[in-house]
Amino acid sequence: MSEPILSVRNLKKHYPVKRGLFNREVGRVRAVDGISFDIKRGETLGIVGESGCGKSTAAASIVRLEDPTSGAVIFRGGGRTEESPAGTTRPTNVVEFGGRELKRFRREAQMIFQDPASSFNPRKQVGESVAELLEVHGMTDRKQRRAIVEDLLERVGLAASDYERYPHEFSGGQKQRIAIARALVLNPELVIADEPVSALDVSIQAEILSLLSDLQEEFDLSILFISHNMSVVKHICDRVAVMYLGKIVEIGPTERLFTDPRHPYTEALVSAIPTPDPRRRRRNITLEGTVPSPADPPSGCRFHTRCHRIIQPAGVSLPQDGWRRVMHFREHVSRGAIDIDGIKENTVADGSEATPAHLEAQVREEYGLTEPLPDERADEALDRAMEALVRGKTDEARSVLEDRFTTPCEETEPGFTEHDDDHRSACLLHSEEYDTRDVESDAYRTGDGSDTGGEDIKTDTRD
């Protein structure tokens, strides 16, 4: 197997949080927190995830628009990279590049941004904006620069005469074509496309994606494709990496990942893909709660606060949906997010007596915990926590819940488990220590390789 054109190893990008009179650092936002992956020559690797998961920060760190906090970005540019004394290609770590090396690297790696309009000078002809990169990298012949740009404009579906037009004269799709031409003007080997079609109409998206595929084959490009749209990623990518809260939780071949997702977060994302077949049974996967802050990520598996397949501790045996509701309640108690005084005020305003029993009933209704839990010891612990909470003893309620309902998912950060076909995921469900038969949610995989679909990921944003 040939060496990858790009290898990212344990890449991190943290932003300091500073406060106070002396602007002291009090914490860090872990936007990207230790991701690793390879991109093979001629391959398209997709990175997907919800907004704020760190996809764009990762892209900016790879090309050094942002300086990484730590990690390595190893770029192997064939004959165009620095050679070792033995004459063989020597890997080069982009993170360690100085000014001249970084400039040389950026000839080989270019970016396509989400909003091309914001990156064009409105007072400059688009041809000049594209040709500017050639001038910066040493091409002094103006006629030669123009000839190259006019040829590229035609290759991306525009006319050579568009060279002299201004950005406001083009539609959004045409501007993105020009942005693609600009990314290709230096004949790079790697293109990083950061949400390149998310601002375009669906019909235009298809045209741009088709254009990228054609140009990839023509120019032998490797592409890092970043998107939150699973349908787009499924269409264009050879492999997919799924990110959540600064970490990659699953990576594998596109077909395998979409038909047999192994991480619960990937299951939820795939379930949101619409299917045109009305006869296919759909199953929406509900993710409760909000995405935690990257400044204070959860311990263990970062997805455990929203996971629909969270592992139960020894001695607790509940249906998975009931277990998830208990964990959602426990999380809000731990964060002090349940306003008992506010519930009392609303109760009195409605003309009712704010007795502990009445307050408890309202809390149980809010969190779907009105029925007794089938596990007697678990139900007893929940009763004690509810009683303490409505009497204003939040610390006691928190202690009871954490003592009885602590999941292994918050105690252990999962490592990657290798599946078949270069497919791996980071989830405790696949470790030998836990029996997945006891923690499976409603069957997601149908057994014949088909997905159950789903219109959207339902989320409960109560906080």
Q: Is the pLDDT of residue 5 over 80?
A: yes
Which residue type sits at 271? S
d(CA 374, CA 318): 7
Categorize the per-residue pLDDT at 85 as very low, low, confident or very high, splitting at 50, 70 and 90.
very low
Do 182 and 80 sit in the same domain of this protein? yes
Do 34 and 131 sit in the same domain of this protein? yes
Do 342 and 225 sit in the same domain of this protein? no
The CB-based long-range contact list for 380-387 (8 Å cut-off, 24+ gap) reads: 381/405, 382/326, 385/333, 386/360, 387/356, 387/360
Do 192 and 331 sit in the same domain of this protein? no
Report residue 323 as tokens. Answer: 């277990």
Do 160 and 47 sit in the same domain of this protein? yes
Q: Is the pLDDT of residue 460 over 50?
A: no
* Residue with more model confidence, 374 or 198: 374
SS3 content of the chain, % helix, strand, coil (to 5): 40, 20, 40
| pLDDT at residue 286, rounded to an integer | 73
Structural domains of the chain, count: 2
| Strand, helix or coil for residue 177 | helix
Residue where a domain terminates, one of 406, 432, 456: 406
d(CA 68, CA 61): 5
Supply the mean pLDDT for the chain. Answer: 87
d(CA 114, CA 196): 5
Residue 387 domain-assigned (yes or no): yes
Do 233 and 328 sit in the same domain of this protein? no
Residue 81 domain-assigned (yes or no): yes
Do 228 and 370 sit in the same domain of this protein? no
Tens digits of residue pLDDT in 194-222: 999 887 888 889 999 999 999 999 999 99
Residue 377's domain spans which residues? 320-406
**Integer CA distances (angstroms), 98 to 15, 51, 191, in order:** 22, 32, 21
Residue 444 domain-assigned (yes or no): no
What's the distance, CA 366 to chain centroid? 30
Q: What is the mean pLDDT of residues 30-56?
A: 95
Residue where a domain terminates, one of 406, 433, 455: 406
Do 153 and 38 sit in the same domain of this protein? yes
Q: Is the pLDDT of residue 354 over 90?
A: no
Residue 452 domain-assigned (yes or no): no
Q: Is the pLDDT of residue 276 over 80?
A: no
Q: At what angle do helices 376-390 and 394-404 cross, to 10 degrees?
A: 160
Across 210-224, 235-249, 379-393, 430-444, least confident range: 430-444
Do 328 and 233 sit in the same domain of this protein? no
Residue 246 domain-assigned (yes or no): no
| pLDDT at residue 278, rounded to an integer | 65
- Longest Cα–Cα distance of the chain, Å, equals 87
Residue where a domain terminates, one of 237, 254, 284: 237
Q: Is the pLDDT of residue 358 over 80?
A: yes
Residue 98 domain-assigned (yes or no): yes
Tens digits of residue pLDDT in 242-273: 999 999 999 999 999 999 999 999 999 998 88
| pLDDT at residue 114, rounded to an integer | 85
Do 228 and 336 sit in the same domain of this protein? no
Do 145 and 36 sit in the same domain of this protein? yes
Residue 385 domain-assigned (yes or no): yes
Do 210 and 331 sit in the same domain of this protein? no
Q: Domain with 74 in it: what CATH number?
A: 3.40.50.300
